[in-house]
């Protein structure tokens, strides 16, 4: 890929190493970016005739890396994690336990290894310009044999969108190159449309009611308000008594609804810059049927998040690899459950509220919110009343009797002011005997149970230094 030649060279080196391997163990993270990373890498390996097995990990720590080493596999390919744990991985490499190949985008630990594909090593932002799925895509492109693997660009875009890399709604940097390759391959379309989640699947009133991207008084979180708004438009928005979906509307009908929505938002006092964000760049997977979750990159990524967070990464992988029967139906059931849990979790935060330190805000969900989704709930909470959108939010959830999961979320504006939650999570967790990392706008950690207060103090001090 032209703009990142040095990264392409790293991909070629990693690909050549994998092609020399008799067998590869592919280990990947479990979120949407991790699942698409694994699917892209697995497809690339299969097309290149490289035997491999796939496994998923919720997190990669010393214990999990030791369990991988115990499998006695010559070559291990890590996707969407591995860079941050390179100090532990390198120790196993020196011991002769396995040879690692890493395709990741997280902040690397202070170690080196020969086969390491990470945008940060070439000055490319791993939080906004290339995701784990993007790194796997570069690797798959370098593994090409009879195909050029450009069709995998669609999954790479799903991973990037799922990893919140759409800056202002649009993919940039190396992600932009992948979008262009996907368009050239005929598997992607890029357009301008409402930025609301659910345009493919939600009935129109629900699309507007549940839209959290911009809060519009009289419509957002207001079922009767959303119905009233739509009913006042001179359009036939029902079919056989049922509300149509956004995807069912003709172009002129969509334009009428969008224009009315913008005018309503302005009249209700929504700031102009937020109104502008009602419309933005969208990514459509052209090979998928209209009206399904798989057609829209944002909905596809949410479907994937709903699988592995409930210990069914195999289902998410199956969907990515093309299973449109059993795996897709299981994923849809998991998504329904996921939505209920997110809604319940958000209601708990609303009712309990958050606590504040000098520079951060936080809540402790205990056992009431699953540790695999508490970070998503934290991010959603930044848009509700009583939660300050101008300070990072930290969430705690019980992982076991001995450990607590910590998730942190910020905003692009805070990152622009100097916030780096990957540093906050890593340094604050290590100060209390845990470990963590991630991205500047979203990161996580695991700490010993009972150290939550000390963690808050440490994190607050670090954020204070970052934001001045």
Q: Is 119 helix (H, G, I), strand (E, B) or coil?
A: helix
| 31 lies in the same domain as 173 | yes
Q: Is 370 helix (H, G, I), strand (E, B) or coil?
A: coil
Contacts of 50 (CB under 8 A, 6+ apart): 18, 19, 21, 24, 143
pLDDT at 164: 86
DSSP state of 364: E
Provide mean pLDDT across the span 400-407.
95
Q: How many C-beta atoms lie closer than 10 Å to residue 409's C-beta?
A: 23
| Domain coverage including residue 41 | 5-186
On whether residue 394 sits in a domain, the answer given is: yes
pLDDT digit string (tens) for 415-462? 989 999 999 999 999 999 998 888 888 899 999 999 999 999 999 999
Pairing type for strands 24-28 and 75-79 reads parallel
pLDDT digit string (tens) for 225-270? 999 999 999 899 999 889 999 999 999 999 999 999 999 999 999 9
Among 186, 220, 249, residue at a domain's last position: 186
pLDDT at 2: 46
Mean pLDDT of the chain: 93
| 208 lies in the same domain as 174 | no
- Displacement of CA 191 from its chain's centroid (Å): 21
Q: State the pTM of this model.
A: 0.86
| 312 lies in the same domain as 211 | yes
In the block, residue with structure tokens 């097309």: 47
| 36 lies in the same domain as 129 | yes
pLDDT at 214: 81
| 364 lies in the same domain as 326 | no
pLDDT at 1: 46
- How many percent of the chain have pLDDT more than 70? 98
Q: How far apart are CA 373 and CA 341, in angstroms?
A: 8
| 93 lies in the same domain as 198 | no
pLDDT at 26: 98
Among 342, 370, 404, residue at a domain's last position: 342
Q: How many domains does the chain have?
A: 3
Whether 200 shows a pLDDT value over 90: the answer reads yes
| 152 lies in the same domain as 270 | no
Q: Residue 391 — left, alpha, or beta (φ > 0 → left; ψ -120 to 50 → alpha)?
A: beta
Q: How far apart are CA 55 and CA 327, in angstroms?
A: 17
pLDDT at 4: 64
Q: Is 232 helix (H, G, I), strand (E, B) or coil?
A: coil
Provide mean pLDDT across the span 303-327.
93
CATH number for the domain including 376? 3.10.310.40
Among 342, 377, 395, residue at a domain's last position: 342
On whether residue 348 sits in a domain, the answer given is: no
On whether residue 347 sits in a domain, the answer given is: no
In sequence order, the β-bridge partners of residue 279 are 194
Provide mean pLDDT across the span 303-308.
92
- How many percent of the chain have pLDDT more than 90? 81
Whether 322 shows a pLDDT value over 50: the answer reads yes
| 58 lies in the same domain as 77 | yes
Provide mean pLDDT across the span 153-159.
98
Whether 300 shows a pLDDT value over 60: the answer reads yes
Provide mean pLDDT across the span 211-223.
85
Provide mean pLDDT across the span 301-308.
92
On whether residue 288 sits in a domain, the answer given is: yes
On whether residue 433 sits in a domain, the answer given is: yes
Phi, psi (rounded to 5 degrees) for 181: -70, -35
pLDDT at 325: 87
Whether 366 shows a pLDDT value over 90: the answer reads yes
């Amino acid at each position: 890929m032209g703009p990142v030649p040095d990264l392409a060279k790293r991909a070629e080196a990693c690909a050549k190493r994998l092609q020399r391997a008799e067998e590869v163990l592919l280990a990947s993270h479990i979120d949407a970016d991790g699942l698409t990373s694994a699917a892209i890498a697995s497809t690339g390996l299969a097309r290149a005739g490289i035997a491999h097995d796939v496994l998923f990990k919720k997190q990669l720590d010393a214990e999990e890396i030791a369990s991988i080493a115990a499998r006695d596999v010559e070559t291990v390919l890590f996707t969407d994690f591995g860079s941050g744990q390179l100090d532990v991985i390198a120790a196993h490499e020196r011991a002769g336990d396995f040879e690692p190949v890493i395709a990741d985008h997280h902040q690397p630990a202070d170690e080196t290894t020969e086969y390491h594909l990470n945008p940060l090593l070439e000055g490319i932002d791993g939080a906004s310009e290339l995701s784990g799925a993007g790194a796997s895509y570069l690797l798959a492109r370098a593994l090409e044999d009879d195909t050029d693997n450009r069709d995998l660009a669609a999954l790479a875009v799903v991973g990037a969108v799922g990893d919140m890399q759409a800056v202002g709604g649009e993919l940039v940097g190396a992600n932009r190159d992948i979008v262009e390759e996907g368009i050239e391959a005929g598997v992607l379309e890029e357009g301008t449309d409402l930025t609301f989640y659910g345009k493919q699947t939600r009935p129109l009133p629900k699309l507007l009611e549940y839209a959290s991207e911009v809060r519009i008084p009289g419509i957002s979180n207001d079922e009767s308000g959303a119905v009233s708004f739509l009913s006042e438009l001179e359009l036939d928005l029902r079919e056989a008594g049922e509300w149509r979906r956004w995807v069912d509307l003709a172009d002129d009908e969509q334009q009428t609804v969008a224009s009315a929505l913008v005018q309503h938002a302005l009249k209700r006092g929504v700031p102009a810059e937020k109104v502008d964000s009602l419309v933005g760049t969208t990514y459509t997977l052209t090979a998928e049927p209209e009206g399904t979750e798989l057609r829209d990159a944002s909905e596809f990524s949410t479907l994937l998040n709903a699988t592995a967070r409930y210990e069914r990464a195999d289902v998410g992988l199956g969907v990515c690899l093309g299973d449109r029967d059993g795996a897709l139906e299981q994923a849809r059931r998991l998504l329904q459950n996921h939505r209920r849990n997110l809604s319940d979790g958000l209601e708990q935060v609303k009712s309990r509220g958050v606590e504040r330190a000098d520079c951060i805000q936080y809540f402790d969900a205990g056992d009431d919110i699953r540790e695999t989704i508490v970070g998503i709930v934290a991010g959603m909470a930044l848009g509700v009343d009583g939660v300050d959108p101008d300070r990072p939010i930290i969430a705690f959830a019980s992982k076991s009797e001995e450990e607590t999961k910590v998730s942190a979320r910020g905003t692009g504006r805070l990152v622009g002011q100097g916030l780096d939650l990957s540093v906050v999570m890593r340094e604050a967790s290590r100060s209390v005997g845990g470990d963590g990392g991630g991205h500047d706008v979203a990161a996580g950690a695991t700490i010993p149970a009972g150290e939550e207060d000390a963690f808050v103090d440490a994190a607050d001090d670090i954020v204070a230094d970052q934001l001045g």
